Structure 1
């Protein structure tokens, strides 16, 4: 994926905190509903569709007509929520609002200047509206519906309520308020005002509106307690949708229980189960299928269950251990009770929120005008009306700019730099160039028709269905940048015999089957290594991995990890692994900040493959990888040597070649380029993701 400086910085942090923000807090429970999950399409007079792209959409700014003048008339200004019924009126002695960390894009006329060319607010507004207009409009409508319900029931949410909730959420994660708000800015792009308006206020309002529907019964509390602290079953799982095959597998593992893990790896049709050798989280009560839970809790350690049908799948369990219930002291019970009650209320609240929007949408008269040319002619400048009151197109654009402008601008800067370089080289991109790149991507990922030609239609369906984004957006944000970079750098790369030999060994050569223990502390690693040396068996090594390894896969699988191949990017680890014989153990291998101990199980056999076919596939793969590096290097150079003033981010760089890192005020950075991106690329916030960035590439897998 091609990323710009801000995306590069944020991607690393996002990877570290992804799980933390997956359930961002009780306030985050409503993010989906409030920012787009509400469906008012059935109330609209016409369908919600993206605007028809302009003829030169791939080389210019795609978009739609959008009024830049603010219309007169009675409106509900969604952008100015603190001053209207959609958010609380400040009461009491509220603290002064903090100064914004960065400018709001709606307050600037010029967003950025790239080598003397401006990106205006209108330009960026069209891009944001095109990408996010539909979901942002749904969020605005939902907030209006909540506001009307609150007005009807005379419910008021004060500034003190909101500040208190933010403090509560921050303390829940052991963070001071300012650190919590910083994380929200970095990971979700929320300013404090946006967070209050779009998340906290609606959540508090929905709580009050549904207070009588979220009461928790004693029976529900008991079930939650049993699920959380009651007995559990540590088990292995084989899952498949074919009853005939599952019966055969059941007969096999019943006769040879020691093969259960391997059978799950080879045959489970759930990739998560197969890749973990059948290891699943402990089974708890009241969380899933009641019949499966009953059978699981009836098994003795080492016992195999009968075949269990759940929906259209068939399961086989092997009990590893019956885990006793956890004892809670009387001193801890009040805190445990409070947390369980809060969790149950939040769960009920999710259901209530969904029903609320459905009910309110039926009561209200909602007309969705956005992107409907006929309705737009009748109500110019309006994106939607709610009970006759309009949300204007300008308000919707402002909301999109405020929410996504910072990120989308990074992509527009990248696109501007590429476009300027094409002009400098007198290169143009034609429709046939774009079509050829899409066909190349389809072929690269194995999507061919029976005659061997690329199946473009199937590829486009797959690459866009994840985010329900239009093909035009995929072409603009993924295909066009790939073609542009290839025009700039040329598509010729040199593949040597040494490259081919290493690739052959990596993909088809022998690999080392090992058990691994990964530790984060050298002193601990030395102690574990000593224990393993004193009891040199596979079983004891596996038990040490389950007890001490800090790497989740090796810990849950008794040290079992994927076979180590040559030329995988860890020379020291490969050298150590390939020096071992079956039944021997390595020393401690220091790799980055981890310490690894290996125990050799043996070597796999090289894969038998036709040399000519292998050479063809490997050449294609190597050309792609080398071209990727070439494109990435050139893109980095173009960004580095461009004069870029980003007024939204408050950064500037002179564009002088050879400028020392850090010189100037926050020079932009970039990251690697993956030509011709895959699923997920079409909704990159930055708006530039060359076409093959998110799907694995390599020769077709062969069973070993």
Structure 2
């Protein structure tokens, strides 16, 4: 079963219950009469994803985006839950594949990675005592924290080794590919885009822009992931689908809806130009090589994950959240 992005109108019924739980049962909420910490949200082959794992991922992503996880709008929460579920399913499939393949992590590797993560957290506090008080407020001890991060470190190391073995080590970039990319280096487009989470909204946005409505007013009238002027961009700076659509436009034109791993984009070209590229020295060659490598890596990883999902058993557990209906 392929999960992919859970589009509006196609989510299983439990998804609305899960949103209800996030809206009303988060810590600090007046409705927090029961903590659904270990409800099983999904079964992924031989693994399970729990409510607490989804909640932690949502809070982490909200913090990274500068959002207060307890003051999210329904649309923001829905987007974050969607992304959390997608990431956790993917992480689970990669980890299980690594274990089946016999990939291991040594105790030294696990200790080094987990210690680095904990030290990074500890550095945010003025003293060790302040750090331990913060842990106590979360009902956490230093030993339990270390156990948690050692488990996370092992999983991350196994996934990374799997990707290195099956994808990264097989990527080849030729000198002719680097030279061809350099010849396109000076071509740039100035674009802005509106990024939303579902295709229906994107089609509406596109139709309104084509009809001549103001870009900022259209963006303000819908729930967006992002709506911004990206400035001048060149080839190699954006994901392949976005780049292809952007460079096909003439100034003033609006793109068809473009789907990427980030959502659904509607792109407007504001201008085009071609300027002299920097000299093709060793530094420039390495930069272009890394850009081409990263793009090929991203494309192959996406295909690899899609193939894993196509062969996987993934079930969302509606019954686990039935009492929220």
**Higher relative contact order by CA 8 Å / sep ≥ 6: 1 or 2?**
2
Shorter chain as denominator, the TM-score bin is 0.3 to 0.5
TM-score (normalizing by structure 2): 0.47
